[in-house]
Chain A
Amino acid sequence: MNLKTHNFCRTGLFIITGLLLTSLISVTQAGVEVRNFDNPKQERRYHQLVDELRCLVCQNQNLADSNSQLALDLRDKIYEMVKTNQTDQQVIDYMVNRYGEFVLYNPPLDPVTASLWLGPIILLIAGIIMLLFNIKNREKSKPVELSDADHERSKKLLNDEDEKE
């Protein structure tokens, strides 16, 4: 590797490191909020809940990462519910009753989401079946039998190649 490509690689590495670091910033930013919990378990539950609930204003962020006013309000609400020892299910029900199942990053298995959950499994099974089918077909097909004339011909062709060289 010459010096130029080496430098190029280094710049690339710097850029990648920089990008990775900025992704860390957004995580720590959300963590700046100071919240006091009665015990570590409450804190863990709070963080787990805001992580797995979607923010509706900026739909591809969870409540933990979003800086929108609504996400802030909902974090306050979830904090309050966790502090008063309401169960995870109560918090999730609270959110689903208002915003629908869309807020769940982890949607439940029901008729609407069945294809979402079962689709990959069905595709995997279909793939395996097709693979087995193909393998079996290949076993069945026997190697091509060559007649004496064919042998002669191939020999002649190969000899021709030799003569050219």
Chain B
Amino acid sequence: MLRYLIPLGIFIILVVFLAIGLQNDPRYVPSPLIDKPAPDFSLPRLYAPTVSFGPKLLKGKVWILNTWTSDCVGCRKEHPYLLNLAKDEQINLIGLNYRDDDRLAKALLKKHGNPYRVVVTDNDGSVGIDYGVYAVPETFIIDKKGIIRFKYIGPLFPDEINNTVLPLIKKLNAETS
């Protein structure tokens, strides 16, 4: 009897492992940046290229960093939800225009609306690398102390915004800086 039970047992264990493996999203790579200070940068603003902007100016505030490009399909998908999210005065949504053409970026925001408080341009992608960006859109939530508390890869849909983003921002706003 044991002679048949052992291979069956091994087979069942294998099936369980494979089933778990199939549920995993291979695109999801846990970011090592969670609970680490947001990398500093100083980048030109899209609408005022001579003025630079960086995380230091946001110390003491909870903010969202959203990476996007004008030619990214996922960014276009989340765009209306970001516009909706930005209606809330409490939300400091900063756009990082990653490796894009300023003209195209401006054209897109003109056509579809601008959800961002500030847009900075990362033309050579170096800040993107510091933030470990590999698949725009990616969204980071940074707390009052400048620590990255959350990262989301892919378009932000209402489910994620309502169930994760908004509760987290509420929680972080309640923390002392």
Contact = CB atoms under 8 A, between A and B. Distances in A.
Interface of A: 56-57, 59, 69-70, 73-74, 77, 96-102
Contacts of A102: 29-30
Chain A at the B interface: SS class = helix
Contacts, number: 39
Interface in B104-153: 124-126, 129-132, 134-135
Contact of A56 (B30, B99, B125, B135): B135
B30 A70 contact: no
A9 B132 CA distance: 50
Given A70-B125, A73-B125, A98 B29 contact: no
Q: Which of B26, B126, B129 has the most CB atoms of chain A within a 10 A radius of its CB? A: B129
A56 B134 contact: yes
Q: Main secondary structure on chain B at its contact with chain A?
A: loop
B132 A99 contact: yes
Contacts of A69: 99, 125
Contacts of B135: 56-57
A26 B31 CA distance: 30
A102 B124 CA distance: 24
Contacts of A96: 32
A100 B29 contact: yes
B32 A74 contact: no
A100 B125 contact: no
A124 B27 CA distance: 32
B26 A100 contact: no
B129 A100 contact: no
A98 B125 contact: no
Contacts of B99: 69
Interface in B9-55: 26-27, 29-33
Contacts of A97: 32-33
Contact of A77 (B29, B129, B132): B129
A52 B35 CA distance: 27
Contacts of B134: 56-57, 70, 99
Given A56-B135, A69-B99, A99 B125 contact: no
